[in-house]
A and B are shown apart, each in its own frame.
Chain A
Amino acid sequence: MTRAVPWIAGAAALLLLPFVYREAYPLHIIVLILIWSFAYTSWSIMGCFGLTSLGHGGFMGIGAYVTALLWNYLHVSPWLGIWVAMLAAAAAAVLVGYPCFRMRITGHYFALLTLALSAIVLQVVTATRDITGGSLGYTPERYHGGSSLYAVQFIDKETWYLIALGVWAGGLAIRYAVGRSMLRYALEAIAEDEDAASAAGVHVTREKLKITLLSAMMTAFAGALYCQYQMFISPDTVSGVSVSLQMVFAAVVGGLYVPLGPTVGAAITILMAETLRISFGTGAVGWDNLVYGTLLVLFIIFLPQGLLGSVQERLSARR
């Protein structure tokens, strides 16, 4: 019972935060961190089994654009649109994932093949510029110029904070559930040795497809949420190879194998980018990614467990 106390206190503190602390800018940053944490967590639930996908930028783009396009052109509420977007992402995941898993494409090949998906989504969005606005970006229409539950548009930061917090917690819960399921044992066995797992009765293709579908749909959800929050998307911020790499990096920097790793990664990378942006102003263009790229290389060489992963390892070793 006493072990639960810090958890409950932490949850309560997180829930009450926007009502005590009402500064708009820090809340905005926290919301962004929560949304991206959810996206990075979505990537990591398959990434931690050695399935390094570089296609998640594609899933995120599908999530964001499908939802926004349905809203603007067909006036479909995001409540429904998000589901359609997630199904579209799932279809894309099957289209790329099934042949990969069936033909036993792993490692480098898998990463580069899924990279094609990110590139395709980016090119399609750019090519259909008459509909999607191309590289200039796209804005969902404001619903009667204000907040609306029907349109999932809210002006105040507090609401968004609570939504993002809920979604983020949901992401962690899914990761936790996967960690306790049979799926995890199957996938760990597959990551160890695909042939042996198959011989032991694991349906390799099906199990991999399951986690890929889950991960892709969560990522699409993150894209839709990001779009609803920012009310502006562009191909470079929600799709493409850079976004995919960004997901991998944040997860690796935070710690791929620990549940809160992607969250720590998101906090580090977003806070760093914002700090640099504020302190250097427009002169900071490029500096954040410069530090980011350097950190990433250093982390992979010296701290492959990630920041949180290494800290937790030290702590548990001391005990």
Chain B
Amino acid sequence: MFGMFDIYLLEALLSGLLLGGVFALLALGLNLVFGVIDVVWICYAELIMLGMYGMYFLYVTYHLPFLLAALICIGGVGVLGVALHLLVIQPLLGTAPINQLLATGGVLFFLQSAATVLFGIDFRNLGIRLPVLDFAGMYISYARLLAFAAALAGMVALYLFLARSYTGAAIRAIAQDRQIMPLMGVDTRRIYLITSLIGGALAGLASCLLVLQYDVQPFVGLTFGPITFLICVLGGLGNMLGGFLAAFLFAEIISVSGLYLDQEWGYVFGFAVFVVLMFIRPQGLLARRS
């Protein structure tokens, strides 16, 4: 009896860990953009939705190999990120921050309905059925394992880029002090564009991984959009390490409470924990007390 219970719990914990990898990747792009440009892309999940459609069409309609399709997708969503910055964020940089948030909210509606108009509301999937691994009596979804690995790889790549390259150093510097960097000879506009490109590309990477687990439809962004924002807030907006921890915390809560109750209750419980944690650590998990 207890043996059975333990293995289910362990399985839930493990799949929570894998889910956490994907959440962490989702939060990473948003956090990067927020930390550097000080803008919240409310439409972040909708960029991912477009990327998922891109994957669907490249893979199913044009029969490209999965990896090539994924590369095109990552690049394509990266370019979308740049377009978003140039068309919507740049004209609003000097105004109240809430305006930028609302404008990207308008983009959210735009992208959702553009997808509805263009692709209809059918649920589509790639038709790839990845096997389920049987590991010591536990069932682990291969798609999640792959997503976890790719998410980790993406994060390590971003870390190396930020830590080692000159541009990465400039990006980190801008995130620390927005006013002083132009005086140091850093071209803010260029850094913002690069950041938007990377933020979009991370969304593209996420879309390649999520398309293996979710059916694509215009409103798919709503299934993981809100949770991404909560993770970022819980980790402290712009704080990448905090977001990383918060992602795993959230994923475990959802996964483990989904074991005992319905999936929705997992989310409800996750949100409730979020509200309680905000009482205790309002500026994010890792914030230093000022």
Give the B-binding residues of A (Cβ under 8 A). 50, 52, 95-96, 99-100, 103-105, 107-109, 111-113, 115-116, 118-120, 123-124, 126-127, 240-242, 245, 248-249, 252, 285-290, 292-297, 300-301, 304
Contacts and interface: CB of A to CB of B under 8 A. Distances in A.
B103 to A, nearest CB: 4
Contacts of B182: none
A296 B105 contact: yes
A297 B103 contact: yes
B242 to A, nearest CB: 13
A290 B114 contact: yes
Interface string B104-118: 011111111111110
Contact of A293 (B91, B95, B106): B106
Main secondary structure, interface of A, reads helix
Given A249-B105, A300-B102, A293 B40 contact: no
Contacts of A285: 116-117, 121
A273 to B, nearest CB: 11
A124 B275 CA distance: 15
Contacts of A295: 106
Contact of B229 (A95, A104, A112, A296): A112
Given A112-B230, A296-B103, A124 B268 contact: yes
Nearest to A246: B109
Given A109-B233, A127-B265, A96 B98 contact: no
B102 A301 contact: no
A112 B110 CA distance: 20
A52 B264 CA distance: 27
Given A99-B278, A112-B230, A290-B117, A120 B268 contact: yes
A242 B102 CA distance: 12
A108 B232 CA distance: 11
Interface string B227-255: 10110110001000000000000000000
B98 A111 contact: yes
Contact of A103 (B34, B112, B282): B282
Contact of A123 (B109, B232, B271, B282): B271
B199 to A, nearest CB: 16
Given A100-B278, A116-B226, 17 more contacts: A52-B101, A107-B97, A108-B40, A109-B233, A109-B237, A109-B282, A111-B98, A111-B101, A116-B271, A119-B267, A127-B264, A248-B105, A289-B112, A289-B116, A290-B113, A296-B103, A297-B88
Interface of B: 34, 40, 42, 88, 91-92, 95-99, 101-103, 105-117, 121, 218, 222, 225-227, 229-230, 232-233, 237, 262, 264-265, 267-268, 271-272, 274-275, 278-279, 282-283
Contact of B98 (A50, A95, A242, A293): A50
Given A286-B117, A289-B112, A289-B113, A115 B226 contact: yes
B103 A112 contact: no
A126 B264 contact: yes
Contacts of A120: 268, 271-272, 275
Nearest to B271: A120
30 contacts: A50-B98, A52-B102, A99-B279, A100-B282, A103-B279, A105-B282, A112-B40, A112-B230, A112-B233, A119-B227, A126-B264, A127-B268, A248-B102, A249-B105, A249-B109, A252-B102, A285-B116, A286-B112, A289-B110, A290-B117, A292-B113, A293-B110, A293-B113, A294-B110, A295-B106, A296-B105, A296-B106, A297-B88, A300-B106, A304-B95
Contacts of A109: 233, 237, 282
Nearest to B118: A286
Contacts of B267: 119, 123, 127
Contacts of B262: 127
Contacts of A249: 102, 105-106, 109
B226 to A, nearest CB: 4
User: What 5 A-B pairs have minimum CB-CB distances, sorted nearest first?
Assistant: A286-B116, A293-B110, A296-B106, A293-B109, A127-B264
Contacts of A300: 92, 99, 102-103, 106
Nearest to A286: B116
A79 B222 CA distance: 35
Contacts of A304: 95, 99
Given A112-B233, A301-B88, A301-B91, A293 B99 contact: no
A116 B237 contact: no
A45 B232 CA distance: 28
Given A108-B237, A120-B272, A292 B109 contact: yes
Nearest to A288: B113
A111 B97 CA distance: 11
